[in-house]
Structure 1
Amino acid sequence: MSDFEHVFESPPEGAAADWTIPQDWAAYSAVEHGTWDTLYGRQMKILPGRACDVFLQGLKALDLNTGGIPDFAVMNPKLQALTGWTVVCVPGLVPDEVFFDHLANRRFPSGQFIRKPDQLDYLQEPDIFHDVFGHVPMLTDPDFAAYMEAYGKGGQRAASLGTLQNLARLYWYTVEFGLMEDADGLRIYGAGIVSSATESVFSLEDPSPNRLGFELERVMRTLYRIDDFQQVYFVIESIEALKAETLKDFGPIYQRLIGEDAIPIEAVLPGDRIFTRGTQAYAARGGRFAA
């Protein structure tokens, strides 16, 4: 297990059997609400022209800029009316089987806490800003909502087959760090990017990372890093195409992947569709905040 503050091996005191806890919105302090407003305002100066239309439309549909941390009791009816999803609070990172069960039943688990004011630019574990601002607007789209439900059901199957590492890579390079092809260029839809001021710019504009066309088995074999900007981003054609990929039977794919070596993060393969062949200069300089 990690030494993160909000990681548990069993439901902590006050949590239900499915690990959910009350949001207790009234308990948030003025400082915590102010942190949300600061983060929200900063991202909205960066994301227009960079984030995909679905994300920006989802923000508007859920009205996440009413001042301070959203109240789930107000937000959830809007989300549920659109796609049948709700957001539930959990005390931190939950076990895989719990996470998959929530997704399979159209419940998105969100951290309850928000980062401290001195952690605006980097937080190792996901907080409520990452989870709600980053993830939930995309759940207003019926195709992405179906993709996430299918991912939850697929996770339950992958756990029984011992192939979770392959499915985790798919989540990482789509839900967290995915890019989308648009008539006007590449756009962001991954939550790990849209909730980060620095990576929102880096992912699209820095010459360092590779930007490659999405191919399911290729993605499932590709390593990733959790502590820095990505060295490769995969580009989907559309959310509809992403949903179609997820509806495939992964059983034969998992069989083909048995014994296959993982692909290094920085690799560009002969069959890759290349949007950008990156310099990898950022990683070569040592990574996060390297001069």
Structure 2
Amino acid sequence: MRAEPSRPAGSACEAGAILWDKSFRGSPRPVAADYSVEQRWSEYGPEDHAVWRRLFERQSGLLPARACPAFLKGLARLPFGGEAVPDFEALSDALERTTGWRVVAVPGLVPDAVFFEHLANRRFPAAHWIRRPDELDYLEEPDLFHDIFGHVPMLMDPVFADYMQAYGQGGLRALGRKVLHRLARLYWYTVEFGLVAGAGGLEIYGAGILSSHSETLFALEDDSPNRIAFDLERVMRTRYRIDDFQESYFVVRDFDELLRLAEIDFAPLYDRVAALQDVEPGRLLPGDRLLHRGNGRYHAARPTV
């Protein structure tokens, strides 16, 4: 499922399964045509609950001054806390009452068409397994903590919930065209690693940041990465990293800016972007509206392979 470099923390399908492979982590179990499985909450053991508890306590203590209000409000209204792995049915009931979404348990990363179909019908596919204690800060594919803690609170926000559905609908329209990597970049730099301009400064709404202690601090407070005002064409041209922190983050004015993307005819945009050169993750372009020019120090100091 790895078509281009990116970070190993993403949704159950990671930007439309651009990175999909067929190896599922966790106990083998029957998989339906839509890749859904039973969560089987009773099968989580003490170690699973302890991992959830440690991650939840760490992130919930770090995010109040850094996450966007929509995330914090959603987190407070959902029926889970730091004691145990959440029950997907209880989450779904709360989501459905608020924005019409439900959580669907899946074994891991799922194919493009399945991912888009779920989102287009207001179903969020979430991995049913949780990382091991030795993987608290790094793992190669998205797990339950990333999917539930990072993504689900944002689905309690009506505008963001509509954007996620519109993304799924756009993905279904794009199937069969050689443009899915463009949509993956849009998902990556918004849903996974997006920042939004808040009243007191930049705030986090991307799940890949919200579920990561170290990237929460890096994305907002480090001088190394660029922080660039969101531009759709620019985002679709920009490669991303799965092996480390992002070199650039894109900042939306508000979630209405994202939702307005649903009104755009993407077909001519795909054609226009296809004629342009891809942009490396840390590179700046003359037309960029920079909110912060990164010094690149972190990635420059990293060993090259």
Provide the TM-score with structure 2 as the length reference.
0.90
Where 1:187 maps in the other structure, the secondary structure is strand
Say whether residues 1:77 and 2:90 are aligned partners.
no
**What is the one-letter code of the residue matched to 1:271?**
G
Say whether residues 1:9 and 2:25 are aligned partners.
no
| RMSD value, Cα | 1.8
Where 2:176 maps in the other structure, the secondary structure is helix
Counterpart mapping for 1:218-233 below 5 A: 218-233=234-249
Cα deviation code 1:55-78 (max 9, x no counterpart): 000001113206211001211110
1:188 to 181, 189, 204: 204
Q: Distance in 2 between matches of 1:247 and 1:68?
A: 40
**What is the one-letter code of the residue matched to 2:146?**
H
1:126 to 111, 120, 142: 142
Say whether residues 1:170 and 2:160 are aligned partners.
no
Deviates more, 1:220-229 or 1:249-258: 249-258
1:160 to 176, 200, 205: 176
Hey, which bits of structure 1, 4+ residues long, moved more than 2 A? Answer: 6-13
Say whether residues 1:28 and 2:41 are aligned partners.
no
Q: Distance in 1 between matches of 2:60 and 2:250?
A: 24
Identity of aligned residues (%): 53
Cα deviation code 1:257-281 (max 9, x no counterpart): 1221101111111111111100111
Given that 2:37 and 2:107 are in contact with CA atoms closer than 8 Å, whether structure 1 keeps it comes out as: yes
The alignment covers a number of residue pairs equal to 286
Deviates more, 1:165-174 or 1:266-275: 266-275
| Runs of 5+ consecutive residues of structure 2 not aligned to the other structure | 3-7, 13-19
**What is the one-letter code of the residue matched to 1:204?**
L
Where 1:226 maps in the other structure, the secondary structure is coil
Given that 1:150 and 1:247 are in contact with CA atoms closer than 8 Å, whether structure 2 keeps it comes out as: no
Q: Distance in 1 between matches of 2:47 and 2:82?
A: 16
Bigger relative CO (Cα 8 Å, ≥ 6 apart): 2
Shift of 1:151: 0.4
Given that 1:90 and 1:112 are in contact with CA atoms closer than 8 Å, whether structure 2 keeps it comes out as: yes
Shift of 1:10: 8.9
**What is the one-letter code of the residue matched to 1:139?**
L
Deviates more, 1:169-178 or 1:241-250: 241-250
Provide the TM-score with structure 1 as the length reference.
0.94
| Runs of 5+ consecutive residues of structure 1 not aligned to the other structure | none
